[in-house]
Amino acid sequence: MKKWLSMSIALMLIIGVLAACSSGGSEKSSSKGKDEVVFWAPFSGPDGPNMKQIVDEFNKSQDKHFVKLQIVPQTDYYKTVDLSLNGKKDSPELLIMHGDQIITYANKGVIKSIDDIIGDTVKKENYHENAWKGTEVDGKLYGVPLDIHPLMFYWNKTLFKEAGLDPEKPPTNREEFIDMAQKLTDKDKQQWGFVVPTLWPQQFIFPTIVYQNGGELISDGKVDYTSPEVVDALTFLRDLIDKYNVSPADVQQDGEMNMFLQGKNAMHFNGPWMMNQFDESKLDYGVSPVPRLGTKQDAVFANSHNFVIPESVKDEKKIEAITDFLNYVGENGMAWAESGQAPASKAVYESDEFGKMKQQPQVAKQFDYAQYSPSVENWGPISDPLYKAVNEVLLGQKEAEKALEEAEKESQAQLK
Amino acid sequence: MNSKKSAFTSFLFVLPYLVMFILFLVVPIIYGVYISFHEWNLISSDRPFIGLKNYMNILNSDTTLHKTFMRGLWNTVQFVVYSVPLLVVIGLGLALLVNHLPAKIRVFFRTAYFIPYAISVSIIAVLWLWILDTNSGLLNQYLMKWGMDPIPWLTKLPFAWISIVAATIWWTIGFNMIIFINALNEVPEELYEAADIDGAGSWKQFLHITLPSIRPVMLFVLITSTIASFNIYGQPYLMTRGGPGDSTEVLLMGIVKEAFELRQMGAASAMAVMMSLIMIVISVAQFFFLNKKGKGMEA
């Protein structure tokens, strides 16, 4: 018995060690005599090879600089970044940062303002104007944009056809959305027009509707979840379940996405990063900008990927290597578009090749009116009470106004 | 001379463990306590010593930290209370069942029950999500086929707790079972033979021979299960995301959020130290209570 136990434990240990070995140290360096730049990115998903391709091509295109790409697993990315920036050893000299994280790092003075760096090689006018907004803190720019990733709208064309709807005409506003959702719902077949998620990606959907209503989640430095614009957004989502009956109740984490993949959910919101998974599922799906579910204006919640430089990087040669590389990415970023994302560089998103793609031009269509998360430090944890309220209301366990009022107090207490 | 040599050899064997123990347990614990006395922001190099302020904040009912801690603690304690008795009782029950199987298939069942323990929690969670999905899960599909209403396994109380406890038991029960099987095998056969002759039935044998004989192991399983249950994190994090609302948001989720989302290592360490103290108190209490009771019964 004991022998059996120790054998199995030994086996597990060996497997663990082997797994650890195989994941490290494949990066070969050929940087002799060149200015090396260590570049970190969280692209551990299917988008990793796309970034690697750009880096490899850059390294081949010239012989002055060498960029060394290190992919850090997405889930541990900011932990790893924090620890390395703080230890100052093996720290990156260039890294990818999400737009909503920039303010925290900028306020702590650990990333550089890039105002002095742009102009000569990396030019502001080569990128979409709105992309720069995502990197701005107190009037200074802290990052060079890679992409903007707004919420997208996906629909199942097969179900549209079956319901007698034109599969090439997605809804564009709230009325059409409700009308189509009702036509697409067939409870006997366990088929729903729009399954309302109760958790992620509400962090993208909910603010989209609030912004479309012309509302804000933080106004004048105060948390504001009780304005009519915010309450309406939540009531509307709840009504889809209760009043319009186009969604089942009690949807769990990823429930709506699984049903979309199974062909039981006709319409779905998610980020452009889902493209690969939808393609693999062999669904006949369409993708477009999000319809205007709010009542006032076109808007969509977005986050972004940006290149930032740690404050500790001072060497002129390194800076030159970095700017050369960033300029190269701007001009040759088509590989990044192939991952499903829309690069913010005009050279890419205005090109013919880009325009012929399926999803990516739809993403770029939303650049003009994309809005980001409120510009405060730690928006993620501060907004947790809000998404708990959204969760409870959509699960039918609390009233919208009361839940939002409580959440407002909790978030306000955390906003220093 | 000889004994000295053998003592040295023994020491060499213990050494690797000792080094690992100091490096990966003692040092981090001391470092953690040290961090908890500072305002320690991960990305700021200025880390002033603030004494017991982090601990005071946790105890001060006006702070967000206090709310996070108490909410997490309450949810964790709920989970411990629901899961530990089941982990002990079902572990023992399975051990008895498996032990009574014919030798040939015993090994198969023992392995089958132990395998889930070797799988990572993320896979366990995915598996149970497929089974428990409200609208497209395996379980509810069957319920609906039989004309019943679907049950919101992960989005309503008490089902969310039931699901988390069930997944935990399925995942970890093999470990307790193996420990119990070992203990059962150590019970001297003669005792049962003697009891047979005296005409004691199997229930009486279980009550008066098996249970008293395995009491030390029982205590061990109880304490390790309590500690393991206190450390719950992966199952609610992956299966319910702490929901509905925050009703399954356990203490470790709060600590991880404080440490790596808010980057407040000082406050997070203080929370972790408090959590350890609570666990130590509970374990010691369990030990004394059961040991005393045991001695009383033997006398």
Report DSSP letters for A72-116, one per residue: --GGGHHHHHHHHHHH-SS--SEEEEEHHHHHHHHHTT-B---TT
Quick: pLDDT tens for A103-115.
999 998 899 999 9
Q: Is the peptide bond before A310 cis (omega within 30 degrees of 0)?
A: no
List the single residue in A12, A105, A251 with the smallest CB-CB distance to B43. Answer: A105
For A110, the closest of B43, B136, B150 (CB atoms) is: B43
Give me the residues paired with residue A285 across strands.
A156
pLDDT tens, chain B, 299 aa long:
567 788 888 889 999 999 999 999 999 999 999 999 999 988 877 889 999 999 999 999 888 899 999 999 999 999 999 999 999 999 999 999 999 899 889 999 999 999 999 999 999 999 999 999 988 889 998 998 898 888 999 999 999 999 999 999 999 999 999 999 999 999 998 898 898 888 888 888 898 889 999 999 999 999 999 999 999 999 999 999 998 999 999 999 999 999 988 989 999 999 999 999 999 999 999 988 887 765 544 43
Q: Do B64 and A378 count as a contact with CB atoms less than 8 A apart?
A: no
Pairing of strands A285-288, A152-156: antiparallel
Helix (H, G, I), strand (E, B) or coil at A357: coil
Contact A16, A48 (CB under 8 A): no
Residues 6+ apart with CB under 8 A from A157: A167, A168, A284, A285, A286
Q: Chain B contact for A107, CB < 8 A?
A: no
Long-range contacts, B291-298 (Cβ 8 Å, 24+): B291/B219, B294/B212, B294/B215, B294/B219, B297/B212, B298/B212
At A71, list the tokens: 């992919």
Q: Do B136 and A259 touch (CB under 8 A)?
A: yes
Answer whether A250 sits within 8 Å of B155, measured CB to CB.
Answer: yes
Closest residue in chain A to residue B152, using alpha carbons only: A250
User: Which neighbouring-strand residues pair with B58?
Assistant: none
Least CB–CB distance from B261: residue in A264, A381, A413: A381
The CB-side HSE value for A359 (13 A sphere, CA atoms) comes to: 26
Reported pTM: 0.86
pLDDT tens, A37-64?
999 999 988 889 999 999 999 999 998 8
To the nearest 5 percent, what fractions of chain A are helix, strand and coil?
45, 15, 35
Measured CA to CA in angstroms, residue A256 lies from A118, A241, A270, B150 at distances of: 43, 13, 10, 16
Structure tokens at A59: 């390294």
Does the pLDDT of residue A416 top 60, yes or no? yes
Q: Are B138 and B130 in contact (CB under 8 A)?
A: yes
Choose among A40, A106, A98, A309: nearest CA to B44.
A106
Confidence of residue A13 (pLDDT cuts 50, 70, 90): low
A contacts of B135 (beta carbons < 8 Å): 190, 195, 248, 250-251, 255, 259, 264
Q: Which residues 64-83 of chain A have a CB within 8 Å of chain B?
A: 78-79, 82-83
Please tell me the distance from the alpha carbon of residue B206 to that of residue B96, in angstroms, as a whole number.
10
> Is A13 at the interface with chain B, CB within 8 A?
no
pLDDT score of A354 more than 70: yes
d(CA A285, CA A265): 11
Helix, strand, or coil (residue A213) = coil
CA distance A139 to A366: 24
Is the separation of the CB atoms in A270 and A151 below 8 Å? yes
Question: A residues 180-199 near B, CB within 8 Å?
Answer: 190, 195, 198-199
